């Protein structure tokens, strides 16, 4: 039976994914809430037997700034705009509260939860398409991510999610050379291409597409996966957080459920993603939306056989069936 697949990947980053956009001061409660949400997410995933890839920034695996320095690469990215460098940002700070940056205890909880895959979101939330950096600096960043995961947790990393969804062919190739077998790629819609070249029009279309169809079909056939390593698993939909807009939020959840059902009926892959810190505001409303999605997955599993699989599961099973 050709059954559909729900794949979930999470970009776990705390402030390492936001330092170039938002100040740390004033967001302490936001990250405190995020830290409380993650065990609840894990409980919800375990209760519903949901398998998830946690694409984790290597920096947050450190216990402290001292340990972070120990695992940091010898070569830093040479961005033209210094604001993109985590290393420059750290140097500019007088006070760095660890609660917003370091979470090895949460990584251990992820590893202890059944069905969860620890993946990578690079070591420093590295932007592979920003001007000034080069691919060898990216390689060094990946090596640092692999090292901290292996030495602290004994885990080899197989799945990679590129920060800000920025990547080019050479960065994908380097990821494969550094041992990553699976990467999350972008939807084929024009407004998801070259995310380093952000425009207002792209943002409007990406936001609008969560409400009504403005792009291509979001789910895709298993036969579309190429066996070349690393295997690319396109994203289908970003689960946008509730921000006080109850009508729009209900519409977004309903659209996701409709897309999941269509994928289940046709035996295709639906790849949902978001950031755990997206639940840092309006935690209960966001958790309720997620519960609706996971409950719906169980309905689709009973009716059409739709299964929950993380990135490694999905690519490995699909490619094994075609003899790769």
pLDDT at residue number 191: 63
pLDDT in tens, 268-304: 999 999 999 999 999 999 999 999 999 999 999 999 9
CB 16, CB 122: distance < 8 Å: no
CB 49, CB 299: distance < 8 Å: no
CA–CA distance, 319 with 44 (Å, rounded to integer):
29
CA–CA distance, 186 with 234 (Å, rounded to integer):
5
Chain-centre distance for alpha carbon 176: 18
pLDDT at residue number 324: 47
Residues of the chain short of pLDDT 50, as ranges, are: 324
pLDDT at residue number 322: 58
pLDDT in tens, 97-112: 889 999 999 999 999 9
pLDDT at residue number 1: 66
| Assessment of whether the complete model's pTM goes beyond 0.85 | yes
Hey, what are 290's tokens? 């997620």
pLDDT at residue number 179: 95
């Amino acid at each position: 039976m050709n059954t559909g697949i729900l794949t979930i990947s999470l970009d776990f980053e705390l402030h390492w994914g936001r330092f170039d956009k938002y100040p740390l001061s004033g967001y302490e409660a936001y990250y405190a809430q995020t830290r409380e949400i993650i065990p609840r997410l894990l409980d919800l995933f375990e209760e519903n037997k949901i398998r998830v890839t946690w694409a984790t920034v290597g920096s947050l695996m450190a216990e402290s700034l001292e340990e972070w320095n120990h695992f940091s690469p010898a070569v830093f990215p040479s961005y033209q705009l210094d604001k993109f460098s985590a290393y420059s940002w750290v140097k500019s700070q007088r006070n760095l509260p660890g609660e917003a940056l370091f979470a090895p205890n949460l990584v251990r909880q992820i590893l202890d939860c059944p069905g969860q895959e620890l993946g990578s979101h690079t070591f420093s939330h590295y932007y592979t398409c920003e001007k000034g950096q080069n691919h060898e600096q990216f390689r060094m960043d990946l090596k640092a991510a692999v090292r901290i995961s292996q030495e602290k947790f004994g885990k080899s990393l197989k799945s990679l999610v590129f920060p800000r969804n920025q990547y080019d062919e050479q960065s994908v190739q380097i990821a494969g050379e550094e041992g990553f077998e699976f990467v999350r790629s972008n939807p084929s819609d024009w407004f998801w291409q070259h995310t380093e070249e952000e425009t207002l029009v792209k943002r409007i279309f990406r936001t609008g597409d969560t409400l009504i169809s403005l792009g291509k079909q979001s789910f895709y056939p298993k036969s579309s996966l190429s066996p070349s390593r690393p295997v690319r698993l396109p994203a289908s939909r970003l689960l946008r957080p509730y921000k006080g807009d109850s009508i729009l939020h209900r519409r977004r959840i309903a659209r996701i459920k409709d897309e999941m059902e269509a994928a289940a009926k046709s035996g295709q892959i639906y790849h949902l993603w978001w950031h755990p810190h997206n639940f840092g505001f309006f935690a209960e409303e966001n958790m309720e939306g997620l519960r609706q999605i996971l409950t719906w997955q169980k309905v689709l599993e009973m009716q059409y056989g739709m299964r929950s699989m993380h990135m490694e599961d999905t690519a490995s099973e699909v490619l094994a069936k075609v003899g790769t």
